[in-house]
Structure 1
Amino acid sequence: MADQSFLNWPFFEDKHRALHAELESWASANLPVDHSDVDQACKDLVAALGKAGFLQHSGAKQGEKLDVRSLCLIRETLARHDGLADFAFAMQGLGTGALSLFGTPDQQAWLDKTRAGEALSAFALSEPKSGSDVANIELSAEDKGNHYVLNGEKTWISNGGIANVYTVFARTGEAPRAKGLSAFVVPADSEGLEIAERLDVIAPHPLARLKFNNVHVPKTNMIGEAGAGFKIAMSVLDVFRSTVGAAALGFARRALDETLARAKSRELFGAPLAELQMVQGHIADMALDVDAAALLIYRAAWTKDMGAARVTREAAMAKLYATDKAQEVIDKAVQIHGGDGVRKGSIVESLYREIRALRIYEGASDVQKIVIARQTLS
């Protein structure tokens, strides 16, 4: 089992330690799952996480509060056991994040379903010409009186094709670029919403390109105010960006655990790998990067939980450092495992594929450097 001494850090309360113990027990008994049918695996994972009560942490209705430390602990623990389980949990939170933070009571009725594991959610932000540059969104939402009509495309949408509800960001045109975007709740069965393409990636997850062909959305489905879409998207990412770092931390912890076991059991030149100074140097670097990443992640989560309106700088630092360093930790794990490290189906090989996307989605590493620089210069 991975090192748990970090749970004694002052960032955590007894409720977090209890949550970790409960989830660790559940994950050890239920994960990993069969990934041969990724769509079905995600549906089953959401149902199981909902039944076990862990999805209650993924959203918050009016009068409740998202606990970012709990979100991070859950993602870290699930990622350490099964990357697809982390994905399934994460999308229930990210997909309904705008509803948790800005939704009306009627809109938040979706949270009853997503937190129970009875519906899957998705966050439809990226477009063919709008990834890191959110203000460049082109999908249009034309005001038709009592409803809007949506036309355009979204792509790289996690849970695309299996989600029951999408949070969609579209251009309503109140002003140029960022000030002219709005957010909507769009049920997956809306007429004119088409799954145009399923997208395959190196670590299989359900992803899709969506087409909106004259999709009618009632005005009551707008989240927040017209023109507030960019603010809503950034507020959601401000909460969930730290959790991406937490997932990377879970991958890195698993890689370190696998490396320690390998170094102690594998012999080279008549002695365990662990006795070689070069291997010890790699292990020291890995342990250092894991702890430093954890400190940045839980600092950001604690700061948000303590009432900070925004943690843009802290979350960007946590996501950037944790994802980049997890890539390095896992690469060292592959190297120390030798040929077994690149054997398809081995744990470190799967970690190698899982980690790469985390340095891209919810703000690529280079974009996080821009965010940190601007925040530091301001």
Structure 2
Amino acid sequence: MLPMKKFIALVIILSLFLEGCWDQKVYENIGFILQLGLETSDSDDKILMTYSSPVVEPKTKEQIEVIYKDNENLLRQFREDARKISSKLLEAGKMQQVLISESLAAKGGMANILDVFERDPTNPLIAYVAIVEGSPNNLIQKAQAFGDKPRPAFYIRQLIEHNIDQSNIPDTQVYNFTTDLFSPGIDPVAPILKLEFERGKGIEVAGTALFSDDKFVGKVDTRQTLLLLSMMGKAKKSTYISISPQDPKYNNGKKGCAFNISKIKRHINAYITENIPTADIKLDFKGSISELYWNGIGNKVDLKNIEQELADEIRQNCKQILKYTQEVGSDPLGIGDIVRAKHNSYWEKVDWKKTYPQVNFNVDVNVHISHHGIIN
């Protein structure tokens, strides 16, 4: 048995190495910030910042608490100001989305906007970055009134996640957005959201935002996003809707099909020819036909003809997308990153932003239809 003096000394030594509870935070007293909205303000050199956090009090009709204010560029200042208003201690460790207006993103400075997420480990790097057509503040407040939807933060998260699975939008969380943002030779992308009123109350995914460095410069729709993600090597199982021009020899002038894609293979090779970069992109699609109006009712399906026409259509659309990315100066495929890795001496002597619009793209597309249902 240890002598009393040695026992006391042992207790004192162990207490120095044991963590205490001096910094504990009581769950019931915390307001979890689930959404951050950022947009241009009417005030010069300020940003309209919006927080939303869930309300769990049984006596209130509101689902969320929304706090917003014109503020300086520092998000930390806004958090401290918001804490002076909220009944609970606001913390951002459970944030679901960072919603940024097109107008603010078009000004550039995304690196500064997301700086706090890189520096403060309590901020979640898995929060989704999304661009909003219009006002994020308006979107959050309108979403609160959707009686047939979950709370806005959870509704938008579910909306983003299942559209990522369908390759309608890119999977862009803070960590991979900032990784591309700070990587030379590749530009980040982000989903685009908008309020949708034509078919009822809701929020709609509208496509993909393209960036040049940290500035929003253009966008493509959801149909184009599938092909963009295919060329990026990030597409998942999805459905490509072929919309061919009307053919007058068919009774209703309709022609097209729904191609369920089960597998996509992509290969890119970049090389330098006569001091100009060339990128060969090869895409192989495998899938099945789930709807068809190709050669009219009663005619036998010609799979080889459909495969070739689908391949030609996809190739043409891919070339149009690439041409557009060159026009706006965005390199989401990371062609520059490939050139930097494989042809570094060339990379070091050129300005890639000026060189990228000159890249020659060769696109080769193969389509293989494994089956087309029970009807021939």
TM-score, length-normalised on structure 1?
A: 0.26
- Of structures 1 and 2, the one scoring higher in RCO (CA 8 A, sep 6+) is 1
Decide which structure has greater helix share.
Answer: 1
Decide which structure has greater strand share.
Answer: 2
Which of the two has higher C-alpha Rg?
Answer: 2
TM-score, length-normalised on structure 2?
A: 0.26
